[in-house]
Amino acid sequence: MRLKIANVGEAILRTKARALSREEIQSTYIRDLIEHMRETLHDAPGVGLAAPQIGIPLQLAVIEDKAEYHAALSGTELVERERRPVPFHVLVNPHLQLLSPPDVFFFEGCLSLPGFTAVVPRARKVVVGALNHKGEPVHIEAADWYARILQHEIGHLQGTIYIDRMLTRSFSSLENYNRNWKAKTRQDLEREFSAPE
Question: What CA–CA distance (Å, rounded) separates 27 from 139?
Answer: 23
For 107, which DSSP code?
E
Q: Which candidate in 153, 175, 190, 197 is catalytic?
A: 153
Torsion angle defined by CA atoms of residues 8, 11, 14 and 18, in that order, rounded to the nearest 10 degrees: -130
Tally Cβ neighbours within 10 Å of residue 147.
25
Ranges of H-type helices in 44-161 = 75-81, 144-157
Is residue 153 annotated as part of the catalytic site, yes or no?
yes
Sign of torsion over alpha carbons 68, 73, 76, 79: negative
User: Cα separation of 133 and 116, whole Å?
Assistant: 31
> Whose CA is closest to 45, among 71, 8, 15?
71
3-state helix, strand, coil in the chain (%, to 5): 40, 25, 35
Q: Which residues are catalytic?
A: 153
